[in-house]
Amino acid sequence: MANRLYWDLGKHPSAIGNLVGLQFLSANDASISRVIPDSIGKLGNLTEIYLYNNNLSGQIPSSIGNLSKLAILNAFNNNLEGPVPPSIGKLKSLVALVLSWNHLNGSIPREIFQLSFSYYLDLSYNSLSGPLPSQLSGQIPESIGKCTVLQELWLDRSKDKGRRAHLNHQWLRNSSTKSFVAECETLRRVRHRCLMKIITCCSSINKQGRDFKALVFEFMPNGSLNRWLHKESTMPTLNNTLSLAQRLDVAVDIMDALDYLHNHCQPSIIHCDLKPSNILLKEDMSARVGDFGISRIISESESKILQNSNSTVGIRGSIGYVAPEYGEGSSITTFGDVYSLGILLLEVFTGRSPTDDIFRGSMDLHKFSEDALPDNIWEIADKTMWLHTSTYDSNTRNMIEKCLVHVIALGVSCSRKQPR
C-alpha cells in the first residue's frame, strides 16, 4: 500500500479511514469544501498532514488525538470553526501545529502545552478568547508548560488579545545564555529601518527554577524571505512569488542593513548568520534583517588584532552560507558577512539554495552562477520572476538581461573565497 497520498479529500472523505498504512497526507490548495472526517483518526501511521489553503469547514475531529505518530499538522487558511480539540495534547510526537487563519473559537486547551517536543505553534488569526492556559500569564509567558524546546509561538490577532508580536523564546543553558546576551546587546545599540525592531525583552525564572528569556520583535506579516523563494508543495503564482523588482528592493534593503552594521556602528557589528530565513518581510515587502543571536561586536583595535592573527572563535553561520575560510581557522571579519551576502544574492535571483541537490562535487551555487555569466544568464534566473511580467520588446529584455548579469556578477564577486 502506498504510504504517501496527494488526494482530493472532497470526493470520498470518510473512505480515507481505510488507508491504515498511510504515512503522509497532502490535500492542500485543492479548494476542498468538506469537513475533516472523523475517520482520519484511524490512520495511526500518519506522520504528516497538510490541508492548508482549502475551504474546509466544521470542527477539527477529536479523533485526531489518536494519531500517535503525527509530527506535523498544517491546516492553515481554511474555514474551520469550534474549539481547538484538547485531544491534540495526546500527540506526543507533534513538533509543528499550524491552525492559523481559521475561525476557531474558545480558549486554548492547556493540554497543548504538555507537548514536550513541540517547537512551532501557530494559532494566530482565529477568534480564540478566554484566559491563557495554566503557566501562561501576561503578554510574555513566564513559562510554556512542558514545551521545553518551543521556538516559536504565534497568537496574533486572537479575539481579545489584539495584535500581538511574534514571540521567539528559548529555554537557555550556558551557550544559549551567551547567545541571548549577545542579541540583547546588539539590538540595544542598533537603529536602522532595515533591521528588525525589538519591542521588548524579558528575563525571569520559571516555577521549575530554570532561566526563561524572551525577545519580542515587530510582527512581520509576510514571513521570511525563505518562504517566498522556495515553494516545495505549492504551485508558484503571482501571490506567492517575488518579481524582479521586489527582489532588487529586498537586495538593496539587505545591503543597506549590512552597510550600517559594518560601517556605521561603533564598534562594528558582524552578523555571522545571514540567510533567507533571517530576512523578514513587512506588509509592503520591504526587508528587515533579524536574528543577531551569534553576531559579534568588534572594536577597531580588536579588528586589527584579529586580522593580523590566526586565532579563531569557531565556525559561525549556517551550512551553505558560512564563509569557507571560517572552516580553515580564519578569524571572524566583515568579509564573512560579505560572502554570505553573495550566496544570498545568488539564491534570490536564481531560486537555488546553496544546499540544493543539484550541487555535487565541485559544483556549487557560486560556480553554477559564475559559469552562466554573461551569455547564459536567462538559463539560471528563477523562472517564477517572469510570472509578474507581460510581454516586452527587445530593448526591455536587454535591460533586464544587463540587470541580471550585474546582480549575479556582484553575488559571484562577494562569494569568492575571502571576498574583496
Enumerate the active-site residues: 273
What per-residue string of b and e applies to 27-58 under the rule 16 or more CB within 10 Å gives b?
bbbbebebbbbebbbbbebbbbbbbbbbebbe
How far apart (Å, rounded) are the C-alpha atoms in residues 55 and 11?
Answer: 14
Nine-digit cell string for 221: 506579516
Q: Three-state secondary structure along 81-148? A: EECCCHHHHHCCCCCEEECCCCEEEECCCHHHHHCCCCCEEECCCCEECCCCCCCCCCCCCCCCCCCC
Query: Side-chain half-sphere of 348: how many Cα atoms within 13 Å?
Result: 33
